[in-house]
Structure 1
Amino acid sequence: MKKILSILIILFVSCSLFSCSDVIEIDVKDGVSQLTVDALVNNKKETQTIKLTLTQGYFDNSPVKPALGAVVFVFDQDSVSYQFKDLKNNGIYTYDAKVNPLNKIGKQYLLYVNYGGEEYISASKLNRVPKIDSIAYEVDKRPIKPDNGPQEGFQPQFYANDIVGEGDCYWIKSAKNSKYFSKANEISVAYDAGFSQGSKTDGLLFILPIRTSVGRELFSDRDTLKVDLYSITQEQFYYLQLVQQVSQAGSLFSTPLSNIPSNIINRNEKSTKKAIGLFGMSAVSSMETIIDKSKAKPKK
């Protein structure tokens, strides 16, 4: 009797799960187009860029539209202005920083964008960054052949110490043969020398998973590896963490998809026009090496 009862319960649950076949039609309308600001500026003596585009409807597969005709400035804490100009009329506003770089460590910087009769502002601090001491690599083999890169090769890692004083945040970028690992799920950030606040890694060597994050795939002999260590604000740290989490969404227990918060503010609080994106300042420490199999360490 108990066995029959169990079977009936299973059948009832199965029917209730698979009988929900009503079609729900959702009327998806295009929302209001918003200004998108991609303004990650660093202290290098090279051309700095700020990209302005416009959002478009979910089902609009046309190329992203640039935001043309904007007035773009960055001001430092000492009231020095740096004008970014759209020289190619493509929504990419540039400033040649070879002569006068934005490199005042510890100073605040303000972004100002005037577009479509609206004024948008944002602030960010240019924080300190440690030097990269060295890059090493060891012989390694992946158990399963990856989609990209070799199955056998060299796993690299960089060595650097977090600066003493809690709260420093970093973005670690790397490039293999001049091509950066730039996908959202390849973002690597650090809080002090660890993954998060409270990890008690202030002033220490970056932990192993962060050091080896520069090798998203194995390297081969004579490949080049470049490692860039960017200082970022805590605001940028949490922004990039959220971008990474959203990019990995898809499983049953993933972080629910949501709008990523922006630090771009419309000066007119009563305006219905908003902007999305991020403004951030970074100091950069870099090191580059060529993989030499004769210098590789054996796998531990």
Structure 2
Amino acid sequence: MNRIIYLILLSIVTMLFSCTEKMDIQLDDTYTRLVVEGRFSTDTTVHKVRLTKTSSYFYNNTALPVSGAIVTISDGVNTILLTENPLHLGVYETPASTYGMIGKTYHLLIKNVDIDGDGVKEEYSANSTIYPINKVDSIAMKYDPHFESWEVKCYVLDPPTEDYYLFNIYKNHVLLTDTITEPLVVDDKMYNGNYTNGIGVGYLRDEKPDEKAFPGDTIELEIWRITKEFQKFVMELQDATRPSTPLFSGPPANVKGNISNGAVGYFTAYSISRCKGVIR
């Protein structure tokens, strides 16, 4: 009996590993959509909105810019007309004297675009509110020999409201968290209404040449007070770009943003607080 069972199992295994066939799967393209990357903060600076088009899953070239759009940002009273950068088509910029104000909701409006190519101009819009942020008291850097990295620790009083944050780290004035998948984004459930007392908000790892720090290096922590919706968007985007297990992960899909009319991407407005420290 055991011999019969063994022979049956051996036959099944042989069939599983011997029956292979090359298959070409044709993946259909979906319709073209507008992609929006827009940020507006309390800094007095040039604020940018980048417009591109979606492309095929296997299209490896730079995203196609959307040129000639009419892009404005308004707080309901004042409206700012953004100008397209002639050296970077698809990038629309405010004047350098522009800044956002805490407590105001900003409305992004995009007009004069025909993304689907049907000859009819479309409009897209989004809203985002700037919430207050407390000034960071100080930061400290502590080296962890086990993980071979410097931990950046933040000291600030968190307000008793429900708040959401994004943390950027600079080393010697160079932004290390320069892609949206790198910054830490969190809510304040762990320390709501309390002093953070040196909570860790980022790491400088020795294994990465651009992050490896030495005594005398200047580290700057930049905190954005973001909306709950943008925090959710960034976390889902970070999850979507991490390696996945083919058997247990869903198919790749666009992360839902806040742009109307079926566009993808996000327009976010936020307040900023900064603090510097030196590696000792």
Structure 1 residue 182: Cα displacement = 2.8
Give CA-to-partner distance per residue, 1:199-247, whole Å, 9 cap, x none: xx42134497xx4332242532122211111011111011011011112
Paired AA for residue 40 in structure 2 = V
Alpha-carbon separation, structure 1, partners of 2:247 and 2:141: 35
Q: 1:14, 1:217 → 2: CA distance?
A: 46
String of CA shifts for 1:82-127, please: whole Å, max 9, x gaps.
11110325111111242x4212x12211110012210101111111
Aligned partner of residue 186 in structure 1, secondary structure: coil
Unaligned 5+ runs, structure 1:
144-150, 195-200, 267-273, 293-300
Query: Which of 63, 86, 89 is 1:88 aligned to?
Result: 86
The reply on whether 1:215 has 2:203 as its aligned counterpart is yes
Q: CA distance change for structure 1 residues 9 and 289 in 2, over 3 Å: closer, same or farther?
A: farther
Q: Specify which of 96, 100, 103 is matched with residue 102 of structure 1.
A: 100
Q: Give me the whole-angstrom Cα distance separating, in 2, the residues matched to 1:192 and 1:17.
A: 51
Q: Distance in 2 between matches of 1:188 and 1:135?
A: 16
Count matched residues: 264
Instruction: Give the AA of the match of 1:228.
Output: E
- Identify the range of structure 1 (178-187 vs 12-21) with the bigger mean alpha-carbon deviation: 12-21
CA 75–244 in structure 1, closer or farther in 2 if over 3 Å, else same: same
Distance across 1 between alignment mates of 2:126 and 2:279: 41
Which AA in structure 1 matches 2:238? Q
Instruction: Tell me the equivalent position of 2:258.
Output: 263
Question: For the structure 1 residues 255 and 287, does the alpha-carbon distance in structure 2 shift closer, same or farther, using more than 3 Å as the test?
Answer: farther
Within 5 Å, which residues of 2 pair with 1:1-40? 1-2=1-2, 4=3, 7-8=6-7, 10-11=9-10, 14-15=13-14, 17-40=16-39
Q: Is the 8 A contact 1:249 1:255 kept in 2?
A: no
Which stretches of structure 1, 4 residues or longer, exceed 6 Å deviation after superposition? none
**2:142 & 2:7 partners in 1: Cα distance?**
59
Partner amino acid, structure 2, of 1:102:
G
In structure 2, the residue matched to 1:283 is 271
Specify which of 172, 175, 178 is matched with residue 179 of structure 1: 175
Q: 1:164 aligns with which of 160, 164, 168?
A: 160
> Match for 2:144 among 140, 143, 146?
140
Secondary structure of the structure 2 residue equivalent to 1:280: strand
Counterpart CA distance in 2 for 1:207 and 1:242 is: 29
Q: Distance in 2 between matches of 1:54 and 1:138?
A: 43
State the SS of the aligned residue for 1:284.
strand
Q: Indicate how the Cα distance of structure 1 residues 255 and 220 shifts in structure 2: closer, same or farther if over 3 A, else same.
A: farther
CA distance in 2, matches of 1:73, 1:162: 33
Look up the match of 1:118: 122
Residues 1:125 and 1:13: Cα distance change in structure 2 (over 3 Å):
farther
Provide closer, same or farther for how the CA distance between residues 125 and 24 of structure 1 changes in structure 2, counting only shifts above 3 A. same
CA distance in structure 1 between the partners assigned to 2:249 and 2:170 by the alignment:
28
Which amino acid in 1 is paired with 2:201?
S
Of 200, 223, 239 in structure 2, the residue corresponding to residue 229 of structure 1 is 223
CA shift digits 1:135-170 (9 cap, x unpaired): 112232245xxxxxxx4x6433222232112x2111
SS in 2 for 1:96: coil
TM-score w.r.t. structure 2 length? Answer: 0.84
Q: Cα RMSD between the aligned structures?
A: 2.5
Contact between 2:181 and 2:234, CA under 8 Å: does it hold in 1?
A: no
Question: What is the alpha-carbon distance in structure 2 between the residues aligned to residue 184 and residue 17 of structure 1?
Answer: 43
Structure 2 stretches lacking a partner, 5+ long: 115-120, 207-212
Post-superposition shift, 1:69?
0.3
Q: Give me the TM-score of the superposition, normalised by structure 1.
A: 0.78
- The residue type equivalent to 1:14 in the other structure is V
2:156–2:196: 8 Å Cα contact kept in structure 1? yes
